[in-house]
Structure 1
Amino acid sequence: MITVTAIETGKARMKTAQRVGRDDRSAIGRKIDIFRDRDWVEPLPILCFLVEHPEGRFLVDTGDTWRNSVPGYLPGWNPFYRQVSIRVAPEEEVGPRLAAMGLDPARDLAAVVLTHFHHDHTGGLDHFPHTPIVGPRANYAVSTGMRGMMMGCLPQRWPVWLAPELVDMDGPAIGPFPASHPLTSDGRVALVPTPGHVAGHCSVIVRGDDRAYFLAGDATYSQENLLADRIDGVTNDAATAHETLRRIRDFAALQPTVLLPAHDPDGPRRLREGACL
């Protein structure tokens, strides 16, 4: 049996221009819109997902950390971090959340799988020193060094022991996705390429007995945005982001699919109720 459980690790707020970007604006123009925007969306969950499969437990993304509240943790020279508000209590981090579920985060997982390396997806890595960390090679390539720090990553805050297993999309096509990377031997848990929010972004498809679960990371911020074909204000490549949304919709048209983005407040309800696209 395969199950998926949502785990919330605090709240994030973003500008309305980040949640939905304008198609008629360039990549730089969409960033300017975020800086100029005075309106904030409601606090959104920072979600990661526990996938339980006969081959083990897989955690998709790690949420964020309470250390965002510590002066100096976020680089003050990058004004982007003033356009997002992260609030995480220590007990809301993914480690304590897993412990409350009766799991030892350091020992009881087969792997941690990252959809991408933005700070609100890697903030909980410290809890997994003995667990393989799997991530897309193409996204890691744009997430390190000064380039990564400019693009919403905090490589300087990653654990000193971090040596992720970087993977390529070297497996078979899955529906409209031209390639994949199987995470289990039966291929029922697999990474698929969903670039757009950032280069090299991936999502995780979990194929259960009667429905699929599409763990979308930030490929879309919400099911509403997906259905309306609205891309976010972060993407540098609007055409690629729209193509990714089309492929997700096409995948869901092939089989019952529960969509689970990382910041959709309605996602946990859909997961509980098995509500499909």
Structure 2
Amino acid sequence: MQRSDFIEPTGNAALQSIVPIGHFTQTDQDYNSFAQSKIDSIVLPTAINKVATQTTTVKCNGKSVKIHAIQTGTVAVKKSHITNRTAHFLTPIKISLDRHFTEFMPIWVWVIEHPEGNIVIDTGENANVANPGYFDPIGKLAAAYSKKNFKFKVSQENEIGFQLRQLGIKKDSIKNVILTHLHIDHTDGLKDFKNVEIIVSEKEYKNPSGHFPELVPNWFKPKTVRFQTDFVEVFNEAFPLTKAEDLLLIPTQGHTKHHTSVLFKTDECDILFAGDVCYNQEQLITNDLPGINVSYKETKNTYEKIKTYAKYNKLIFLPSHDIDSGQRLTNKTELEVR
């Protein structure tokens, strides 16, 4: 079984227009019974049980910089997320009909103790996602779809706010929170970052895919940014997140229409915090496109750009749901393009 494959719902309006109503007639009691039986039948892989916060140190502009890989719980989804690629508008139907779940995958958040201030990349999941009524605000159809097709294992101790406190990283030391895109497993930890500057691509914010504004805090008003052209090789455009211009937001479209990643250029190597470009590194290497994308064409183009960049630069590639991402970070294992 492949380790990767995560996608959030595609939005209530889209679901109403393309998914048969019969797939969304379960009551909460039906759902709870169904979900519990599924969860009970799956044993978390030993490797997942052992995954915890992992930290490494790199040199950046001559200074030592700590990077933390923080697992904010785990998620399991339908196998159709990584297999049986089909037209985007038909994918929710295929997923809903699929009776087979993947194994549980980590939900990574990345924290860089940068000299200009601590930077958090994505915010992970929160424990409330397991509550029966958590998805109710997004509408009956989308809520039922979400309950049927996703399983989470998240405790309060997994949440990013708790883990930052355990690391001794205070909220007022955080310079920015960077969101690669607006799916719930990347935004559900926002509740711990009130009054912290949150950055997201302007295009992703204005034209998201599968974003549920009902599930983000009502104070969420991020700083939206536009890319500058001819800023970084291969990708051709980026937005500098630091004055030193060693941390860049870059476009990596496909999973969502305007998905982004964060490129950290250190003295030793470059590190790409890749969000949901794919769900494990092997998919990138073998050109195995995930089962769900807004655009498979754009994902393929993103794959090619990343691999081209890796040919000419030492690059560590870190998708958000790859069980090996934390270990690759601590071992500084570079992407080898075949």
Mark yes or no: TM-score above 0.5.
yes
Partner of 1:238: 296
Does residue 7 (structure 1) correspond to residue 70 (structure 2)? The answer is: yes
CA distance in 2, matches of 1:235, 1:194: 12
Post-superposition shift, 1:56?
1.2
Q: Could you say if the C-alpha distance between residues 29 and 168 of structure 1 is closer, same or farther in structure 2, counting changes exceeding 3 Å?
A: same
Partner of 2:261: 203
Note if contact 2:229-2:236 (Cα within 8 Å) is conserved in structure 1. no
Partner of 1:65: 126
Does residue 122 (structure 1) correspond to residue 122 (structure 2)? The answer is: no
The residue identity in structure 2 corresponding to 1:109 is I
Partner of 1:95: 161
Note if contact 2:177-2:199 (Cα within 8 Å) is conserved in structure 1. yes
Note if contact 2:255-2:294 (Cα within 8 Å) is conserved in structure 1. yes
CA distance in 1, matches of 2:84, 2:121: 26
- Partner SS state of residue 102, structure 1: coil
Does residue 85 (structure 1) correspond to residue 151 (structure 2)? The answer is: yes
| Equivalent residue for 2:99, pick from 24, 38, 43 | 38
Q: Where do 5+ consecutive residues of structure 2 fail to align? A: 1-62
**Bigger helix fraction:** 2
Note if contact 2:122-2:187 (Cα within 8 Å) is conserved in structure 1. yes
Report which of the two structures shows the higher radius of gyration computed on alpha carbons.
Answer: 2
- Partner SS state of residue 271, structure 1: helix
Note if contact 1:138-1:200 (Cα within 8 Å) is conserved in structure 2. yes
Q: Could you say if the C-alpha distance between residues 171 and 181 of structure 1 is closer, same or farther in structure 2, counting changes exceeding 3 Å?
A: farther
TM-score, normalised relative to structure 1: 0.92
Note if contact 1:216-1:260 (Cα within 8 Å) is conserved in structure 2. yes
Partner of 1:272: 330
Q: Could you say if the C-alpha distance between residues 101 and 276 of structure 1 is closer, same or farther in structure 2, counting changes exceeding 3 Å?
A: same
Partner of 1:50: 111
Count of residues in correspondence between the two structures: 267
Note if contact 2:109-2:121 (Cα within 8 Å) is conserved in structure 1. yes
Partner of 1:154: 212
Post-superposition shift, 1:253?
1.3
Partner of 1:16: 79
The residue identity in structure 2 corresponding to 1:59 is V
The residue correspondences of 1:127-276 to structure 2 (distance < 5 A) are 127-143=192-208, 151=210, 153-276=211-334
Note if contact 1:217-1:262 (Cα within 8 Å) is conserved in structure 2. yes
Larger deviation: 80-89 or 31-40?
Answer: 31-40
Note if contact 2:230-2:236 (Cα within 8 Å) is conserved in structure 1. yes
Post-superposition shift, 1:210?
1.1
Post-superposition shift, 1:38?
2.0
Note if contact 1:3-1:208 (Cα within 8 Å) is conserved in structure 2. no
Q: Where do 5+ consecutive residues of structure 1 fail to align? A: none
Post-superposition shift, 1:173?
3.1
Q: Could you say if the C-alpha distance between residues 228 and 206 of structure 1 is closer, same or farther in structure 2, counting changes exceeding 3 Å?
A: same
The residue identity in structure 2 corresponding to 1:197 is H
RMSD: 1.5
